[in-house]
């Protein structure tokens, strides 16, 4: 198959591009040198026979788990062999090995080890870190319970201190308190960091983390008092043994509580931690990863759908002419190009948050936490905004591939099921949006009381000025120039301001005739979520626009400017009500916006394939017959299907078991 010539349609598309995709790839990677290194690491994995295996689509869940474990063990060894230690490089290596899928050691590497580093005392690090580093200890992070997820304070697992033996007694007092979902817990891990309500001297001190051995070293059998297993099949995540854990009077030594911050002394005296804001840092980091992941997952789906749409010919546009590429249909462009623009937008947003986190985590170590609340609020909202959008976008891409998108050979079903849980984990999206809203309302209240706010919400300062000049918003109507990204940023800013203000005022109105703050908040929450969405939308448009001036190459800048305009204008056309109602745009302007969106589709059309090529996904990583770089779709679909388990024998056993006897009987 490798020797096949490139499909003629794709060759033509690539020849017609107005820019060099490599240059854009460098921008996405953060420099030519990083692209080179990424590809070098990619080659290490792709050319390594140890990492080859049968197409995962044909394996059972148990086989997929087994493959993942096999590859993970190899991966850990090879990372050390090659001396790869930079976090980004480890991330690349890992995602090539597992082709963007989860794996059973994710929680060990991503949560267990880092938590030991940040929350264990030096003595605990001596005891646990090296064994865990060498994988004698494999750990997971057991937080979520059957009855509670995002609302952490509701967790029910208890850890009661017994001063007589200097031990904690861990219990799962109810069915709902069973730990449920942690990755790697079902079959892989022999230790878990368990979050439990700490009781000492008869008082509950809230949630704390404990290192709990769960399986016997050597035999891997569950320890007495521990019930552990796999939670069963899920929507995707086949290679992950998400597990359950029930503890019955399970005792661990006092020294197994992670005590770098809070402590329980031998007599049971509780010592409080100095600050509780520190946990924000990790959450910001992980949520920022999800923003990047939204961009990558959507990029993969766009790559598949756009290449396939250039290869697929169907129906007729002009009587008597050959069937056109489906990418030439306006409805197909309208489905795919806004998503392509969104994928680029989210790449830049992901990079921005990552950089910002890196910058201020220095400040955090210096003890300066001043920027943290805003960043925390922003990442919560952007995590929700980008994962919701990408989730819907991936489905749209699949649907745009017609029937074949539904086959697992398209690769999109797999991208979808792997990605979609990110709308829920690390903070359920609606709850995240409401956290952002809390920050927005707080900022609005500060502005109303005459204070000035800074950062991404500084546009709220303008609201107080508008109150002095009531014509301000209306006067601005005519100044929106729909061909100018900077001007569109202003339009989005005005929309966000209007919706934040409306939500804050509605909240105030509810508060005026209701006693309970929480009831009022609940009765305004639909408005609050809308305000947060508008705020996040504004931030994305703003960051995308800001990126344009950093692009040196004129041809690349031109095509990115078109995408940025499409992103901004499409967003307006999908939310015309907000812009009309606030008087930011007139009816006539909305008609122009809709018209311009369609013009941009035609302008972007010649560069569509080059724009997805620039994402630079290796075929092995893309895992899609429809999205192959060489475009030889149909031949390879047939090759792929022949490997299906139902085709192992020419006559399926059910013929002899069921069909034949029936025919004899009837």
Partner 1 sequence: SVNPDLASERQTPSFSVEKLTFRLDGGAEHTRIRRAVVEAIERDPEFSRENQYFQSQNERYEAAVRKAVHLQKQMQEMGWTESGPEFKYIYRALSGDVAFLLHRIFMRSISVLGSDKQIAKWIPLATQFQLIGSYAQTELGHGTYLQGLETTAVFDITTQEFILNTPKISAMKWWPGDMGRSATHTVVFAQLYVHGKCYGVHPFIVQIRSLKDHSLCPGITAGDIGPKMNFEHVDNGYLMLQNVRVPRENMLNKFCEVQPDGTYVRQGSQKINYFTMTTVRISLIADEAIIPLKKACTIAIRYSVVRRQSKLKPGEQEVKILDYQTQQEKLLPPLAAAYAFHFLNDYLQELFDKGYREIQRKNFDTLPELHAFSSGFKAVVTQYCTSAVEICLRACGGHGYSLLSGLPSLYTKILASCIYEGENTILLLQTARFLIKCFMAASAGQPVPPSVTYLAAVKPGKCPAKNKSDFLSPDIYTEAYQHMAVRLTSSTAAKLQDLIQSGVKKHDAWNQCTVQLVQAAKAHCHYITVKNFAETVEKLETKAGIQKIMKHLCDLFALHGIFSNTGVFLHDGYISGAQMDMVTASYLDLLAVIRKDAVPLVDAFDFTDKSLNSALGSYDGQVYQRLYEWAQKSPTNKQMSPAYERYLKPLLHNTLSKL
Where in 424-463 is the site for partner 1 (CB under 8 A)?
424-425, 428-430, 434
The count of C-alpha atoms lying within 13 angstroms of the C-alpha of 288, restricted to the half-sphere facing its C-beta, is: 21
**CB-count exposure of residue 525 (10 Å: 0-12, 13-18, 19+):** middle
Kindly state whether residue 5 participates in binding partner 1, applying the rule CB under 8 A.
no
Residue nearer to partner 1 on the CB measure, 560 or 584: 584
Using alpha carbons only, give the angle 442, 444, 448 rounded to the nearest 5 degrees: 115
Contact 390, 346 (CB under 8 A): yes
- Find the helix packing angle between 525-548 and 330-365, rounded to 10°: 90
CB of 426 to partner 1, least distance (A): 11
The count of C-alpha atoms lying within 13 angstroms of the C-alpha of 134, restricted to the half-sphere facing its C-beta, is: 6
Among 31, 154, 253, 455, binds partner 1 (CB under 8 A): 154
First to last CA, the chain: 47
Do you know the residue count of the chain?
A: 666
Distance CA 523, CA 513 (A): 12
- Looking at residues 507 to 536 of the shown chain, list those that interact with partner 1 (rule: CB under 8 A): 516, 518-519, 522-527, 529
Distance CA 108, CA 188 (A): 10
Residue in 186, 230, 188, 235 with CA at minimum distance from that of residue 418: 235
Residue nearer to partner 1 on the CB measure, 46 or 580: 580
Residue in 432, 431, 455, 426 with CA at minimum distance from that of residue 443: 455
Among 449, 469, 512, 587, binds partner 1 (CB under 8 A): 587
Q: For residue 86, what is the DSSP state?
A: S
> Which one of the listed residues 89, 103, 239, 426 is annotated catalytic?
426
- Looking at residues 464 to 503 of the shown chain, list those that interact with partner 1 (rule: CB under 8 A): none
Annotated binding-site residue? 229: no
Site string for partner 1, 330-359 (x = CB under 8 A): xx--xx------------------------
CB of 225 to partner 1, least distance (A): 17
Question: How many residues form the binding site for partner 1 (CB under 8 A)?
Answer: 134
Distance CA 362, CA 343 (A): 29
- Looking at residues 279 to 308 of the shown chain, list those that interact with partner 1 (rule: CB under 8 A): none
Contacts of 386 (CB under 8 A, 6+ apart): 290, 291, 294, 295, 346, 349, 350, 540
Which window, 194-202, 253-261, 326-334, 371-379, contacts partner 1 (CB under 8 A)? 326-334
Kindly state whether residue 186 participates in binding partner 1, applying the rule CB under 8 A.
yes
- Looking at residues 58 to 77 of the shown chain, list those that interact with partner 1 (rule: CB under 8 A): 58, 60-62, 65-66, 69-70, 73, 76-77
CB of 319 to partner 1, least distance (A): 7
CB of 20 to partner 1, least distance (A): 30
Annotated binding-site residue? 35: no
Residue nearer to partner 1 on the CB measure, 241 or 293: 241
What residue has token string 């960043």? 375
| 426 flagged as catalytic | yes
Contact 137, 277 (CB under 8 A): no
Bridge partner residues of 251 (DSSP): 169
Distance CA 325, CA 241 (A): 43
Which window, 203-211, 257-265, 288-296, 311-319, contacts partner 1 (CB under 8 A)? 311-319
Q: What is the CA radius of gyration of the chain?
A: 27
CB of 590 to partner 1, least distance (A): 7
Distance CA 56, CA 64 (A): 7
Kindly state whether residue 598 participates in binding partner 1, applying the rule CB under 8 A.
yes
Residue nearer to partner 1 on the CB measure, 606 or 645: 645
- Looking at residues 223 to 282 of the shown chain, list those that interact with partner 1 (rule: CB under 8 A): 229-237, 241, 244
CB of 177 to partner 1, least distance (A): 10
- Looking at residues 157 to 176 of the shown chain, list those that interact with partner 1 (rule: CB under 8 A): 175-176
Which window, 52-60, 260-268, 546-554, 561-569, contacts partner 1 (CB under 8 A)? 52-60
- In Å, what is the CA distance from 52 to each residue of 68, 93, 380? 11, 14, 38
Helix H or strand E segment including 449: none
Which window, 35-43, 288-296, 544-552, 658-666, contacts partner 1 (CB under 8 A)? 658-666
Site string for partner 1, 202-221 (x = CB under 8 A): ---------------xx-x-
**CB-count exposure of residue 654 (10 Å: 0-12, 13-18, 19+):** exposed
- Looking at residues 629 to 648 of the shown chain, list those that interact with partner 1 (rule: CB under 8 A): 634-635, 637-638, 640-647
CB of 324 to partner 1, least distance (A): 9
CB of 314 to partner 1, least distance (A): 5
Residue nearer to partner 1 on the CB measure, 218 or 552: 218
Residue positions in the annotated binding site for FAD? 144, 183
Write out the catalytic residue numbers.
426
Residues at the binding site are 144, 183
């Amino acid at each position: 198959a490798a020797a096949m010539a490139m499909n003629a349609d794709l060759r033509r598309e690539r020849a017609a591009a107005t820019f060099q995709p490599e240059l854009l790839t460098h921008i996405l990677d953060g420099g030519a040198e990083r692209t080179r290194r990424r590809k070098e690491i990619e080659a290490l994995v792709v050319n390594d026979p140890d990492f080859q295996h049968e197409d995962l689509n044909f394996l059972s869940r148990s086989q997929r788990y087994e493959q993942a474990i096999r590859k993970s063990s190899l991966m850990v060894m090879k990372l050390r062999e090659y001396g790869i230690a930079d976090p980004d490089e480890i991330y690349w290596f890992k995602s090539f090995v597992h082709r963007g899928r989860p794996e059973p050691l994710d929680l060990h590497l991503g949560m267990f080890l880092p938590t030991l580093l940040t929350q264990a005392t030096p003595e605990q690090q001596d005891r646990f870190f090296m064994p865990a580093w060498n994988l004698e200890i494999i750990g997971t992070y057991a937080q979520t319970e059957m009855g509670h997820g995002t609302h952490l304070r509701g967790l029910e697992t208890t850890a009661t201190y017994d001063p007589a033996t200097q031990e904690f007694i861990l219990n799962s007092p109810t069915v709902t308190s069973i730990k449920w979902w942690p990755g790697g817990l079902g079959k892989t891990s022999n230790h878990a960091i368990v979050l439990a309500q700490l009781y000492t001297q008869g008082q509950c001190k809230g949630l704390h983390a404990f290192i709990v051995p769960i399986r016997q070293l050597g035999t891997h059998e569950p320890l007495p008092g521990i019930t552990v297993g796999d939670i069963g099949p899920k929507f995707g995540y086949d290679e992950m043994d998400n597990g359950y854990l029930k503890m019955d009077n399970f005792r661990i030594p006092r020294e197994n509580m992670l005590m770098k911050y809070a402590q329980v002394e031998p007599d049971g005296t509780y010592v409080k931690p100095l600050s509780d804001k520190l946990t924000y840092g990790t959450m910001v980091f992980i949520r920022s990863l999800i923003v990047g992941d939204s961009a990558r997952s959507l990029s993969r789906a766009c790559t598949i759908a756009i290449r396939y749409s250039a290869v697929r010919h169907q129906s007729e546009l002009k009587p008597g002419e050959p069937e056109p590429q489906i990418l030439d249909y306006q409805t197909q462009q309208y489905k795919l190009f806004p998503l392509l623009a969104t994928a680029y937008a989210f790449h830049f947003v992901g990079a921005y948050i990552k950089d910002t986190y890196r910058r201020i985590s220095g400040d955090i170590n210096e003890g300066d936490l001043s920027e943290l609340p805003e960043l925390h609020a922003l990442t919560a909202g952007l995590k929700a905004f980008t994962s919701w959008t990408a989730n819907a976008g991936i489905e749209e891409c699949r649907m745009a591939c017609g029937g074949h998108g539904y086959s697992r050979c398209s690769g999109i079903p797999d991208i979808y099921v792997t990605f979609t849980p990110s709308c829920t984990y690390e903070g359920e999206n609606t709850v995240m949006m409401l956290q952002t809203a809390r920050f927005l309302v707080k900022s609005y209240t500060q502005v109303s009381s005459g204070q000035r706010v800074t950062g991404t919400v500084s546009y709220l300062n303008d609201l107080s000025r508008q109150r002095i000049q009531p014509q301000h918003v209306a006067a601005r109507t005519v100044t929106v120039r729909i061909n100018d990204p900077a001007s569109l940023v202003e339009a989005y800013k005005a929309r966000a301001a209007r919706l934040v203000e409306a939500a804050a005022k509605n909240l105030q109105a509810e508060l005026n005739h209701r006693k309970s703050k929480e009831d009022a908040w609940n009765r305004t929450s639909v408005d609050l979520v809308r305000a947060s969405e508008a705020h996040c939308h504004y931030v994305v448009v703003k960051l995308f626009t800001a990126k344009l001036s950093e692009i040196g190459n004129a041809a690349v800048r031109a095509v990115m400017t078109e995408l940025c305009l499409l992103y901004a204008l499409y967003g307006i056309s999908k939310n015309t009500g907000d812009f009309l109602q606030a008087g930011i745009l007139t009816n006539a302007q909305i008609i122009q916006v809709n018209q311009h969106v369609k013009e941009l589709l035609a302008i972007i059309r010649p560069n569509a394939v080059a724009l997805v090529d620039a994402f630079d996904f290796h075929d092995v990583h893309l895992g899609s017959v429809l999205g192959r770089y060489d475009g030889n779709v149909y031949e390879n679909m047939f090759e792929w299907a022949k490997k299906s388990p139902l085709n192992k024998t020419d006559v399926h056993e059910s013929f002899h078991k069921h069909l034949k006897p029936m025919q004899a009987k009837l």
